[in-house]
Amino acid sequence: MKKLSLFMACFMLVNIIFAQSEKKNIVKTNILSPALRAYHLNYERAFSEKLSGQLGLMYFGGFNSGDVKLNGYGITPEVRLYPKGTALEGFFLGLSPRYQSYQLKSDGTDVNGNTITDKATLSSIGAGLVLGGQWIFADIVSLEVYGGPAFNSRTLKIEDNSGGTNFEDVSFGNGFSFRLGVTVGVAF
């Protein structure tokens, strides 16, 4: 019972401290990403009444396209304008450049039955527009829904291609795409 009372007292104290200050920060994660073996962590900060900036970090845990395995990371800075609400809450428009780097690997065997590994690095740079809405519940929990078009241009550097795998067939990180997400976070 003492532990529960202490926990409740700490919880109320934290609520009082946060309630006295205006929320200017949100740390959040995209809850749709794990279904695609990706993990996002985003930090958004209000700079003025209508403007915020966000930095998103993404780790892509792995994907197989035929015999090619792919994993890597991405960085997405973003500037957001909240035209009708206040920064961090309401409808927003965003502009987001993005950099991604992926390692490609393909294991196979040569004509003699020896194991061979082909490797390549795929780098992608691009930008996108984002439309969405973000709400803060109970003065601490954020919920965001967003989507928008993006364009990426990639470069492919083949590091070792002894088996002749055609990495050019991997149609990832190039051309037009669509970003979509639902994030949940903590405002402070």
pLDDT tens, residue by residue, 63-102:
776 777 889 999 999 999 999 989 999 999 999 999 999 9
* Model pLDDT, residue 61: 87
> 13-57, pLDDT tens digit by residue?
555 554 545 899 999 999 999 998 999 999 999 999 999 999 999
* Model pLDDT, residue 109: 76
State the average pLDDT for the chain: 87
Q: Give, in degrees to the nearest 5, the angle at Cα 31 between 25 and 33.
A: 115
Give the pLDDT band of residue 4 (cuts 50, 70, 90).
Answer: very low
Q: How many CA atoms lie within 13 A of 32 on its CB side?
A: 10
Q: Decide if pLDDT at 133 tops 80.
A: yes
- pTM, two decimals, is 0.81
Q: How many CA atoms lie within 13 A of 154 on its CB side?
A: 22
| Alpha-carbon distances of 137 from 44, 134, 140, 162, 185, rounded to whole Å | 16, 10, 6, 55, 10
What is the CATH superfamily name and number for domain 24-187? outer membrane protein from Thermus thermophilus HB27. (2.40.160.70)
